[in-house]
């Protein structure tokens, strides 16, 4: 019951800011004495469940930019593949330290005032595409967005995370879309990566339905609630929640790195 409650809270909070929360799920499950491979598989399953529930709510309100999801998704996925391939060239301490640094920076960036590039007449031009969100149209500069997407994807692939901590800042800062659109679109991308990860783990025989299915129901409820809160909350509050959760994750990563290195 305690594990289910903690996972429910994570599902609500992380869905609100488009981060998924897969790393938190795995930590909670591992702390509950679930074997690591099973914890990773269950974590991917409940992450997919929460993301799909949230995606349904976001899609109903037309908050998802499917075109932006395709562009950012393909860029980050390709870069993540390269990041995972080259990750063995770096030590565990360096990977964790780099990841923590990226979390700290993106958290700080989210607290900076950023102007949305909204317009009712935005048109495609070389390097600039028009993205529709609801009744608004946003001009996205691909010359800025794609390099940042590749960097975020490469870093995510190196440390083995879904990239939710970087997708939202990428869309808000580099693409100039509103916070709600960024959260909704990032949730869609996270659902795809979680599904692929879950299938990979399941093929290895690590799926335990008796534990995963009840927790999946919990995260479906949490994801649905989180999406409603995200649509109703003020963007400035969502940005603060995103920044603070990034910093908390960075602090945990730094602590874990120092513990692994024998400093603590």
> Could you tell me what percent of the chain has a pLDDT over 70?
89
pLDDT grade, residue 6 (50/70/90)? very high
Rounded-to-integer distance, Cα 56 and Cα 223, Å = 10
Looking at 62-66, 115-119, 123-127, which range is the least confident one? 115-119
pLDDT at 229: 93
Selection from 113-127, 160-174, 220-234 with the highest mean pLDDT: 220-234
Q: Is the pLDDT of residue 63 over 70?
A: yes
pLDDT at 221: 96
Q: Span 173-181, mean pLDDT?
A: 84
Looking at 9-23, 50-64, 94-108, 238-252, which range is the least confident one? 94-108
Rounded-to-integer distance, Cα 103 and Cα 167, Å = 12
Q: For residue 205, count other CB atoms closer than 10 A to its CB.
A: 10
Selected residue with higher pLDDT from 105 and 223: 223
Selected residue with higher pLDDT from 129 and 263: 129
Question: The whole model's pTM is what?
Answer: 0.81
Long-range contacts of 167-171 (CB under 8 A, 24+ apart): 167/18, 167/72, 167/76, 168/17, 168/18, 168/19, 168/110, 168/242, 169/106, 169/109, 169/110, 169/242, 170/72, 170/145, 171/68, 171/72
Q: Span 54-70, mean pLDDT?
A: 89
Nearest to 95 by CA among 262, 264, 261, 263: 261
Q: Please provide the average confidence, as pLDDT, over all residues in the chain.
A: 82
Residue spans of the domains in the chain: they are 2-260
Q: For residue 263, count other CB atoms closer than 10 A to its CB.
A: 9
pLDDT at 50: 92
> Could you tell me what percent of the chain has a pLDDT over 90?
16
């Amino acid at each position: 019951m305690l594990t289910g409650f903690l996972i429910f809270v994570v599902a609500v909070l992380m869905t609100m800011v488009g981060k998924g929360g897969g790393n938190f799920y795995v930590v909670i499950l591992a702390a509950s004495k679930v074997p690591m491979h099973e914890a990773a598989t269950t974590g991917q399953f409940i992450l997919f469940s929460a993301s799909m529930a949230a995606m349904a709510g976001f899609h109903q309100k037309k908050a998802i930019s499917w075109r932006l999801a395709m562009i950012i998704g393909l860029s980050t996925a390709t870069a993540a593949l390269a990041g995972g391939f080259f990750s063995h060239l770096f030590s565990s301490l360096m990977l964790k330290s780099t990841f923590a640094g990226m979390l700290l920076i993106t958290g700080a960036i989210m607290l900076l005032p950023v102007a949305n590039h909204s317009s009712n007449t935005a048109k495609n031009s070389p390097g600039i595409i028009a993205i529709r969100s609801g009744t608004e149209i946003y001009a996205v500069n691909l010359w800025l967005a794609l390099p940042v997407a590749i960097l975020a994807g490469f870093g995510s692939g190196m440390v083995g995370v879904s990239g939710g901590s970087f997708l939202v800042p990428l869309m808000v800062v580099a693409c100039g879309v509103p916070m709600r659109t960024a959260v909704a679109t990032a949730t869609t991308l996270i659902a795809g990566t979680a599904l692929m990860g879950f299938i990979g783990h399941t093929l290895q025989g690590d799926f335990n339905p008796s534990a995963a299915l009840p927790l999946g129901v919990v995260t479906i409820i949490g994801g649905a609630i989180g999406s409603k809160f995200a649509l109703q909350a003020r963007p400035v509050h969502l940005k603060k929640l995103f920044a603070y959760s990034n910093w908390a994750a960075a602090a945990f990563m730094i602590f874990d790195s120092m513990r692994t290195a024998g400093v603590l």
